[in-house]
Structure 1
Amino acid sequence: MSSKPEQLFLFEHCQRWRGRRASYRPAGEPFDPNRYEARPIEFSEAKAYVTKTHYSGSMPAARKQIGLFEKASPFLSEKLVGAIVLSVPIQEQAIPAWLDGLDPRLGIEIGRLVLDDEVPGNGESWFLGRTFRLMRKLLPEVRGVLSYADPVERRSATGEIIKPGHQGVVYRAFNGRYAGRASARTLILSRDGRTVSERALSKIRLEEQGAAYAIRQLENLGAPARRLGESGQSYVKRALEEGQFRRLRHPGNLAFTWRT
């Protein structure tokens, strides 16, 4: 991980999602908070929404999930139009590394921030504010928050842009401290541009708990089925060779932090 400062670029649009494809709303668009409510939701509801909406199609390990509901009118039922997942960082050392040595148990990560394309611009700042307020009640032990912005776009094998790069504009607008860039790495991408989880591959190779679920995930990304009696290590090697996966060199995500 690096804390070297660098220039970040601001954009005039707010990113939204629908069916795992990105879309945009004007940043100056008025947002009426009276039409929306933020409140905790169950893991299953958050997972169903996030996997259907976000480009990754995946849900991180979560501690709490906050939903954004639209109250369109007294005559219409409310609708879930956004979710923030307060998650456990994949790497335990991420919290102390980015938050000045803070105990990992006292930190949390914004693992997903997803809004429907019907939510007006600037809705994410209001939603983040409500989420932080709820977090202080639901997780009073938390003293620091970490989130990453991924600056690298994702394309499908046919060249379609699935996800543009992010510069953390929303986090900067919400007074997030830009802490630097995470370590560079190589991503493994499926044909549709989604990233293969290295943790999932490790579970399969080592035949750890959760390996069966990880195999199903890999198959959903285009990998062949595992052969009877095939070792986890052999299967991962063959799956990556036969599944038409691609490799992409990534310079590292941009890290933002808050003290609570």
Structure 2
Amino acid sequence: METTRSQRWRERRALWARDLTVIDPKAYAVDIIDHGPARAFIAQHHYLPSYPAARVAIGLFGRNAILEGVAVFAVPTTNAVITRHTGFDDPERGCVLARLILTDAVPQNGESFFVARAFRHLRRERPNIEAVVSYSDPEAGHIGRVYCALSAAHRAVTKPRTVLRARGVTISGRTVSKIRLGEQGHAGAIDQLVALGLPRPTTLEQPAAWLWRLERERLLVRHQRAGLYAYCFELTREARRRGRALPRLPYPKALPVAHPTLPFFQPQEM
């Protein structure tokens, strides 16, 4: 499916920009915001309501200073995400665009306007970051068309993977692993699932046993997801130089297309 419409989100429902007018840059402001408002906005509107391990959060403000969009730059799940897709040996020279969302109040071309300015703020706040990796999810209705518009390098398509869902919401792999392994932050991860309407662990129930029980009772359901499209934004001359040695695939044209010649990697981040 190809479309010229711009996908938006509100209350975790996919919508579309309401008219064919393009964004007026003078009517919007972009600035760094605290993680609290960013977390609340993501939880309210994004189809992945969990908040990632954020480094910098940036907001798009419309008329009357109303928050209409959020971009969250975050730590990747593994350093290999950065080294593989940016070419930098030092993973601190890259990050991931883990969440990007605009509401349906934002006109056409809002994404490219917002992301381009968000990169400027990111570089001012974290000048050591020279490249940004991001993934688009065809199951959520997008293949990274805004990334293509901003000339991001299309690096790879990840392998299809199995995820856990609760009440139609996909649970991030990092959330699941925190609970299953009892890692630091697992209590907060449990709270995320409880907030979706799942029962809390019983008094003597271990976190891993609780997860298995939820699966047995079909409160957590395994789902096979299509591969993600991996992109890299090369923000500096050095990043572009490093990127010359890495794959740069043709931009995808439709939703979704299996292609046997594309390189596949295990998914690392949304």
Q: CA deviation at 1:207?
A: 1.9
* Higher RCO (C-alpha 8 Å, min separation 6): 2
Residue number among 127, 141, 146 corresponding to 1:170 in the alignment:
146
Native 8 Å contact 2:152 2:234 kept in 1: no
8 A Cα contact 1:16 1:117, kept in partner: yes
What is the rounded CA distance, in whole Å, between the counterparts of 1:213 and 1:176 in structure 2? 34
Residues 92 and 10 of structure 1, relative CA distance in 2, 3 Å threshold:
farther
Give the 3-state SS of the residue equivalent to 1:195 in structure 2: strand
> Normalising by structure 2, what TM-score?
0.82
Paired residue for 2:225, among 250, 253, 256? 250
Paired residues of 1:167 and 1:254 also in contact (CA < 8 A): yes
2:73 equivalent in structure 1? 86
State the match for 1:123 in structure 2. 110
**Paired residues of 1:147 and 1:256 also in contact (CA < 8 A):** yes
Report the AA paired with residue 107 of structure 1: G
- Deviation, 1:10, is 4.5
User: In the alignment, what sits opposite 1:17?
Assistant: 9
Change beyond 3 A, Cα 1:27–1:177: farther
| Residues 79 and 91 in structure 2, CA contact (< 8 A), matched pair in contact too | yes
**Relative to 1, partners in 2 of residues 1:27 and 1:118: Cα closer, same or farther, differing over 3 Å?**
closer
Q: Is the 8 A contact 1:146 1:255 kept in 2?
A: yes
Residue identity matched to 1:104: P
Aligned partner (choices 143, 150, 153) of residue 130 of structure 2: 143
The amino acid that maps onto 1:203 is: K
Residue of structure 2 aligned with 1:181, choices 157, 167, 171? 157
Q: How many Å apart are 1:232 and its aligned residue?
A: 2.2
Q: 1:206: how far off?
A: 2.2
Deviation at 1:257, TM superposition (A): 0.6
**Partner-residue secondary structure (3-state), 2:6:** strand
How many residues are aligned here?
A: 235
Equivalent residue number for residue 27 of structure 2: 35
Correspondence 1:206 to 2:174: no
Letter in 2 for 1:216: D
Gaps of 5+ in 1: 1-8, 153-163
In the TM superposition, residue 223 of structure 1 has moved relative to its aligned partner by 2.8
Larger mean Cα displacement after TM superposition, 101-110 or 240-249? 240-249
Residue aligning to 1:161: none
How far the C-alpha of 1:26 sits from its partner, in A, is 6.7
Alignment match, 2:198 = 223
Whether 1:196 aligns to 2:171 is: yes
Whole-Å separation in 1 of the counterparts to 2:93 and 2:164? 31
For the residue of structure 1 that corresponds to 2:199, the secondary structure is coil
Q: Which deviates the most, 246-255 or 140-149?
A: 246-255
Contact residue 224 and residue 243 of structure 1 kept, 8 A: no
1:109-155 deviations in whole A, cap 9, x for unaligned?
Answer: 11111111110010111111111111121110011110000012xxx
- What displacement does 1:59 show? 1.2
Structure-2 change in CA distance of 1:114 and 1:150 (3 Å): same
CA contact (8 A) 2:70 2:101 kept: yes
Alignment of 1:46 with 2:22, yes or no, is no
What are the superposed Cα offsets for residues 163-217 of structure 1, whole Å, 9 maximum, x if unpaired? x4211111101111111112321011112x2112222222222222111111111
Q: 1:32 Cα deviation (Å)?
A: 0.6
Partner AA of 2:115 in structure 1: L
Q: Which residue of 2 aligns with 1:97?
A: 84
Contact 2:43 2:49 in 1 (8 A): yes
How far apart are the structure 1 equivalents of 2:175 and 2:123? 32
Assess if the C-alpha contact under 8 Å between 1:108 and 1:142 holds in 2: yes
Partner Cα distance (1:245, 1:205) in 2:
14
Distance 1:92 1:239 in 2: 31
